Structure 1
């Protein structure tokens, strides 16, 4: 690597944490030039470019900075808010349905899109659903069809009463990652049963309060996978940072469950236009990411 140019999406760190500073490794490798897309906002880690310049390494910052800010959005958000970064992901049909008129669980998107969904899970600190989704689908919410992250994401269940069944897959897969029930209120006896089973319980006044408690627990980013009730509640409360719609080329038609059924009604002239961050073909499906809050 001696004499080479190193390209990074974030300024190399100059502090010693769990590992030695990146700047030391860069100097030891003989890197001659470092191009960083953006400076590090972390007050503990910043200053690496200055250290490198003092050591005689040529530096440049700001190349593709907008793209880097989107890539590092959840990380940047952690230094600007006491809320976690919330991504709402919905798998829908061309007519915006998440289930057919039988309202039973069914796979809407194809295999490639499911792998994409698992990559999204791997990139977040927590994966969350509402209690209705748990009752209908009995999901695992684990990363299975993508490389597993070093730390498995926590599984979060939004529930008014906190009554997660102790026979559910979530309650019986704690070795796959922690399970957190976020509730408005929960019977003290049932709360004790959940805690005794190993399930964490967070009681919150509202969604924002609950998310702040998750952030205080070290959860910086949450991927919400539905269903309609929690999606609509988060949207109405203004707590969604990114919306990802994965759309399959099928139509369910009359009686299907609309993904936006619980969103607040908006007049055409008042409805906000979202910024498209990216559009990607994933197999036969189309994934579109929209910026709702933030850059």
Structure 2
């Protein structure tokens, strides 16, 4: 596995945006790998799981979620996959060890996550500490998976039109990075029965600064004419369950967590997990799992 730093020449506006996104990601994810190990599952999967029922284990539910996304982009037939926002590499490892994918590329903006992956060295995996806007693949992929990164693409100061433009740029790049029969499996939190102005200032400022959630309408507008939307599902109760599992684990390891990061950080994360679980339960926010495909390049009767 190779870990690569950004060296691409980009426009000033893109560079500022990427720098802001990277700083925001590091604010949250570089608290320390040891801290997250206390309350995430052993794979360090930090996104909504896919529980089979209320008594499921977090470990099984996270593995099921990853397999869901792999199946969404083609399952056993895929040989090359890009993971945009790869975290600590749970999807990358599952692709390498569980599905035998030969070409696996992960993108992250977190130095701590990249260092964790560099130490593990999964077979056939490349990890780039790079914003997706600065990435250019050498050849197309069979599938693209992006879990929990889309929430960081837009900024709080963006207008709805600017947000749609940012999402549309991502969808256009995904289309160009996919083979004609490829697929993008996307998982993102989104606003539901709540506007940006009604969102928690605590989470916006202290947990995920410089980030803003999409709405389903914004996602649909951004994808229109770029990628065909094949599936949309709202699994908000899955994320309520996941946050509750994380909160319980953090409470159980509160003393150890406090030694690692201090009482203020622990209290902040406990508050954030409680608020998030409640938001998903109430339908204020939701969890979308979406599948997109490039539009067909030939049409019946077109002669092309």
TM interval, shorter chain, is 0.3 to 0.5
Bigger radius of gyration among the two:
1
TM-score, length-normalised on structure 1? 0.36
Q: TM-score, normalization: structure 2?
A: 0.35
Structure number with the higher strand fraction is 1
